[in-house]
Amino acid sequence: MKKLRATVNKIMSYLEDIAPRSLAMPGDPVGLQLGNPEADISKVLVSLDPDEKSVDEALSIGAEMLVTHHPLFYHKLASINESLPEGMVISLAIRNKISIFSAHTNFDSAIQGVSYQLARRLGFSTEKADVIEVTGSEELLKLVVFVPVGHEDRIRDALAGAGAGKIGHYSHCTFQNSGTGTFMPGQETNPFIGKSGQLEKVDEIRLETILPAHSRYNVIEALLQAHPYEEVAYDLYPLVLKGRDFGFGLIVEVDEPLSLDKIIQICRDRLNADYLRYYAPTVKAYKKIAFCGGSGGSLVENAARLKVELFISGDFSYHNLKAAQDLGIALIDAGHDTTEWPGVVYLKEYLAERLLSDGYQTGVFLHTPYPSGWNHV
């Protein structure tokens, strides 16, 4: 019997699936910033920053959980002083029982993370994208499960729906062969097949598939729900094979080169950028384009080395500009928050979809975006 409202723990497990904690940079305080993992949540608010505006909006809509990209405790606090902005946020959240969770560099570097969402929002396909700075590759597992004949398609669908069985652009990848399963139900059992105390021999399918390690909990949960047996026999094996690379920044190669004017227009239209500046060493059309939501300055040299012609990000510094001039790579700076916002929208849509498909009546809301605060003259 499912609960009507998801707990903080449940929502965190959904976020772990797309932005595993293990991907965070050392020292980045991702995860539950404050709150009660067991609390039932009727509404979640998703926002870029854990600031007073976000907590106020959570309060005004009755949300008991705030999910943000930037973490609350990025700098170590010596005190919680309500006369200071951070202290006020912490105090407001605790007094009103609002849990705060952040997916920061783990979401920056995740497959489908911030840079993927930026590229997609700008209309670029990320199907064959490369990562600028690879920080790791997906760990893979092999799952083997034994299923009574006739139930294998249902189980296969459940596994595929939870993230197993993907190889490249193929889904539902499994192998199956048939054999005989044996078991003897004990006294306290309620077996799907057989009687207690009698050895059963059943025609079963051995179904095997592959899955990314971070989705194992979801996959096993889906398997146990779909499988007819009281006790499900399955094995999980670690694999030497690795999955897709992940890391910071994304490179996309387009079929038809795009002019600088066209790319700038796309950024203005699709990001609602109130702030945009660029450096372009030559007048040309661009084929190899890179994206990094937030601050991509540290990736400029790597991007140029990988023959990127144009790099779209935020927060480029004077020294990034100098490097770009030396290396002959064009830059578009569309703002830190503006280039991260598509990732925030994705978190909201993803959570809403997961909660709905699991039958939870927990609503997900997007924080009203506000201008970055810069004035331009």
Shortest distance, position 369 Cβ to Zn ion, whole Å: 14
Q: Could you say whether residue 314 binds Zn ion (CB under 5 A)?
A: no
Shortest distance, position 223 Cβ to Zn ion, whole Å: 37
Q: 47, 100 in Cβ contact below 8 A? A: no
User: Which phi and psi (to 5°) does residue 271 adopt?
Assistant: -105, -5
Shortest distance, position 377 Cβ to Zn ion, whole Å: 25
| Interacting residues of 309 by C-beta distance below 8 A, sequence separation 6+ | 284, 286, 287, 288, 289, 329, 330
Q: Which is nearer to Zn ion, 48 or 220 (CB)?
A: 48
Q: Which is nearer to Zn ion, 7 or 117 (CB)?
A: 117
Q: Specify the stretch interacting with Zn ion by CB under 5 A; choose among 25-33, 118-126, 174-182, 291-299.
A: 291-299
Q: Which is nearer to Zn ion, 115 or 302 (CB)?
A: 115
Burial readout 256-269 (b: 16 or more C-beta within 10 A, e: otherwise): eebebeebbebbee
Distance of alpha carbon 231 from alpha carbon 138, whole angstroms? 30
Q: Which is nearer to Zn ion, 247 or 294 (CB)?
A: 294
Please, what sign has the CA dihedral across residues 314, 318, 324, 327? negative
Shortest distance, position 181 Cβ to Zn ion, whole Å: 52
Q: Which is nearer to Zn ion, 294 or 363 (CB)?
A: 294
Residue selected from 294, 296, 297, 314 as contacting Zn ion according to rule CB under 5 A:
294
Q: Which is nearer to Zn ion, 118 or 143 (CB)?
A: 118
Q: In whole angstroms, how far apart are CA 202 and each of 175, 181, 209, 295? A: 19, 5, 22, 58
Distance of alpha carbon 90 from alpha carbon 93, whole angstroms? 5
Shortest distance, position 273 Cβ to Zn ion, whole Å: 15
Nearest to 179 by CA among 152, 210, 211: 152
Shortest distance, position 346 Cβ to Zn ion, whole Å: 14
Q: State the residue number with the nearest CB to Zn ion.
A: 294
Q: Specify the stretch interacting with Zn ion by CB under 5 A; choose among 91-99, 152-160, 290-298, 317-325.
A: 290-298
Which residues contact Zn ion by CB under 5 A?
294
